Amino acid sequence: MTQDTELLTQIAVAGIDYLTLDQTQLAEYRFSDESAFLAEAREHFKGVVLLQTCNRVEILVHGTGTALTDYLHSIGRSGFVLYEGQSALLHLLALASGVKSMIIGEDQILGQLKRALLLSAECGTADPITDICINTAIHAGVDIRSTTRINRGAVSIGSVAVQLAEELLGSLDDRNILVVGGGEMGKLVTQALAEKNLRAIYVTNRTYNHAVELAQEVGGRAMRMDQLYPCIALSDVVISCTAAPHAIINAEPLAIAMNERFWPLDPEPRKLILIDIAQPRDTDDSCRRIPGVHLFTIDDLRSVSEKNMEHRKDEATHANEMIDAYLPEFVRLYNRTAAGDLIAGLYTWAESIRVRERDKAIGKLGPADPRTIAIMDDLTRVLTKKLLADATMSIRASAECTDITTARKLVDAITRGEQVCFLKHD
C-alpha cells in the first residue's frame, strides 16, 4: 500500500506540543473548559476528540483539514501542525506509541487517549470514525511497547522528575521528599520515590483521603494541605503535580517557610529543590527569587529526557518501523468503518422506495386490517435487506481493500443508475 492511498472519508488532526511552545505558552493555548470546546466543535464536525496533556494539545476531527484550520483560527488558535488523511493516522500511531512524547516511550499517553475518547462520548462528539482512530492507535501503542524496549527505564514525567532531583542532589539517600498532589502523576512520582533510600516521603493533597491512600502504598506519611508550608520547611525536595487551576505555592508564605531552614551560623537557608510538573503550574514564578529556592519546571526535564533518549534510539527506530507496518491495517479498519456512511446512504435511499411502494400496495388492497399491514411491512423490509446484502458486502470489501472508487461507484450505480466501468488489465 502506498502512502497516498485514498481514505473513504476525511480525517484531520491539529496538534501543538512542547517542541513548539514552552510550558507557559502551552498553558495559554489549552482549552480550560474541555466540555465547552467539544460542545461548540460538535456544531462543525461529525466527530471531535480533544487530547490535552502536560506537553501537548491535539484535536482530532472527522472532517477536512481546511475546515479544522478555519475553525481553530475563528476561535483564536494558530501555530498548530495540521495532519490529514494517512498522515493523521500515522501521527496518531506515533502519539500512542510514545515516540512523540517528551519522555520517549512513556505509558501515560495511552490512558490520556482513553480518557479523551471517553470525554468525547460523554459530550456527544464521538462517532465511529473518531472511535476507530483512537482505539486502533491505542491497540498499536500497547503492541509496540510489548515488542520493543521503548518504555524501559524512566518513562514518565514523574519518574524523570525524581531522576532530576537525584542528579541535582547527587543522591536521595536519607532525604525528605514532599509530593504535592495525589492524582495519577502523584502516584507515578511516589512509585519512583519508593525505590529510593529516603528518610521520609510526605504526601499532601486537597482531598486528604487521596493523600492517605497514596502514602500508605509507599510507606509515606499523609499531610493535610493546610500543613503544606511546614512540610516544605522539613523537605529537601518538593515535587508538585496537582490539577489546581492556579498556583498553590506562593512566594510570601514560602519565604517565611525558608526562614525555618537555617542551620546555626548559616548565612542562608538550606537549599530547597522545587520541581513543578503540574499543568498549569503549581508554583508562582516569583518563588525563584527567594534565597535557597531552586525551581525547576517541565521545561527543565528535557535534558533528562534527552539522556534517556540516547538509550532508546534503537528501540525508537524499531517502533517507527512498526508504525509504518501498522498503517495498511489501520487504513483497512478505517475504510471498513467509513464504509458505514456509504452503506447508510444506500439503505436510506432503499428505505424511502420501500415505504413508498409498500404504501401503494396497501392502498390498492383497500381497507386493510393491522395484521395485513404488518405482514406487508415485514415482507418489504426483508426483501429490501436481502436484495442489498450482496451489494453491501461488495461495498464494504472494496472499502477494506482501499478500492474507494469501486465502493463509491457501486453505491452510485444502485442509487443513481450510473454505469460501473472497470478497466481491463492485460
- Of the chain, the percentage scoring pLDDT greater than 70 comes to 91
Residue 184, annotated ligand binder? Answer: yes
d(CA 191, CA 188) in angstroms, rounded, equals: 5
> Whose CA is closest to 194, among 167, 223, 216?
216
16/149 same-domain check: yes
Cβ atoms within 10 A of the Cβ of 355, count?
14
Question: Is residue 179 a contact partner of residue 222, using CB atoms and an 8 Å limit?
Answer: no
Q: How many CB atoms lie within 10 A of CB 73?
A: 11
Q: Are residues 248 and 317 in the same domain?
A: no
Max mean pLDDT among 292-296, 356-360, 365-369, 419-423 falls in 292-296
Domain end residue (candidates: 301, 328, 357): 301
**Residues 171, 149: one domain?**
no
pLDDT tens, position by position, 31-61: 989 999 999 999 999 999 999 988 899 999 9
> If you average pLDDT over residues 395-403, what whole number do you get?
70
Among candidate residues 251, 280, 301, the one where a domain is terminated = 301
> Tell me, what's the pLDDT at 94?
95
Domain assignment present for residue 7? The answer is: no
| Residue 19 confidence (pLDDT) above 70 | yes
The reply to whether 162 and 297 lie within a common domain is yes
Give the pairing type, strands 221-224 and 272-276.
unpaired
State the pLDDT at residue 142: 93
Most confident of 201-215, 355-369, 372-386: 201-215
Q: Mean pLDDT, to the nearest integer, of 96-111?
A: 88
In a domain, 422, yes or no: no
**CATH code, domain with 118:** 3.30.460.30
Q: Is 53 annotated in some ligand binding site?
A: yes
Residues 6+ apart with CB under 8 A from 53: 108, 109, 112, 279
Domain assignment of residue 426, yes or no: no
Task: Tell me which DSSP letter residue 301 carries.
Answer: G
Average pLDDT over residues 52-80: 95
Cell numbers standing for residue 426: 492485460
pLDDT band at 419 (very low <50, low <70, confident <90, very high): low
Q: Is 108 annotated as a binding residue?
A: yes
- Asked whether residue 15 is marked as a ligand-binding residue, the answer is no
Please indicate, yes or no, whether residues 139 and 17 belong to a single structural domain of this protein: yes
- 267 and 318 fall within a common domain: no
Q: Is 286 annotated as a binding residue?
A: no
pLDDT at 426: 43
Structural domain harbouring 323: 12-153+312-336
Quote the pLDDT of residue 88.
97
Percent of the chain with pLDDT over 90: 44
186 marked as binding residue = yes
Q: How confident is the model at residue 1, as a pLDDT?
A: 39
Q: Based on the domain organization, do 367 and 248 belong to the same domain?
A: no
Q: Which of 183, 246, 269 is nearest to 203 (CA)?
A: 183
pLDDT value at 422 more than 60: no
Q: What is the mean pLDDT of residues 71-96?
A: 95
**Sign of the C-alpha dihedral computed for residues 309, 315, 321 and 322 taken in this order:** negative
Cross-strand bridge partners of residue 239: 179, 275
The catalytic residue positions are: 54
253 pLDDT more than 90: yes
Does residue 232 share a domain with residue 188?
yes
Number of domains in the chain: 3
- Is pLDDT above 80 for 70? yes
- What pLDDT was estimated at residue 284? 93
pLDDT in tens, 132-190: 999 999 999 999 998 987 877 656 788 888 888 988 898 999 999 999 998 888 888 88
Residue 361 lies in a domain: yes
- Higher-confidence residue: 90 or 381? 90
Alpha helices in 148-295 (DSSP H): 157-169, 184-194, 208-218, 228-234, 251-258
- Smallest CA-to-CA distance from 343 within 409, 417, 411, 420 is with 411
Residue 270: pLDDT over 90: no
Per-residue model confidence as pLDDT tens digits over 218-238: 889 999 999 999 999 999 999
Task: Give the pLDDT of residue 364.
Answer: 85
Confirm or deny that 185 is annotated as ligand binding.
yes
Q: What is the pLDDT of residue 2?
A: 39
Specify the CATH number for the domain of residue 161.
3.40.50.720
User: Is 3 a member of any domain?
Assistant: no
Least confident of 110-114, 205-209, 262-266, 393-397: 262-266
Task: Please check whether residue 1 lies inside any domain of the structure.
Answer: no
Q: Which residues contact 150 (CB under 8 A, 6 or more apart)?
A: 97, 98, 99, 104, 105, 144, 312, 315, 316, 318, 319
pLDDT band at 370 (very low <50, low <70, confident <90, very high): confident
* Ligand-binding site membership of 181 (annotated): yes
Whole-number average pLDDT of the chain: 86
Question: Which pLDDT band holds residue 195 (cuts at 50, 70, 90)?
Answer: confident
pLDDT of residue 314: 76
Asked if the model's pLDDT at residue 420 lies above 70, the reply is no
Same structural domain, 295 and 163 = yes
Match 547527587 to its residue by C-alpha cell. 170
Distance CA 221, CA 39 (A): 42
- Same-domain status, 132 and 217: no
Is 279 among the annotated ligand-binding positions?
Answer: no
Q: Which of 305, 310, 314 is nearest to 154 (CA)?
A: 305
Query: Would you state the pLDDT for residue 402?
Result: 64
Same domain, 213 and 281: yes
In a domain, 122, yes or no: yes
What tens digit of pLDDT does each residue of 1-10 get?
334 457 878 9
Question: Binding site annotation covers 106?
Answer: yes
**With 90 as the cut, is the pLDDT of residue 259 above it?**
no
Determine if residue 56 is labeled as part of a ligand binding site.
yes
Task: Say yes or no to pLDDT of 424 above 50.
Answer: no
Cα–Cα nearest to 410, from 401, 402, 420: 420
As beta bridge partners, residue 83 has: 13
Residue at 194 is within a domain: yes
| Helix spans in 219-312 (H) | 228-234, 251-258, 302-310
The pLDDT score that the predictor gives to residue 307 is 66
107 in a labelled binding site: yes
Q: Is there a single domain that holds both residue 139 and residue 229?
A: no
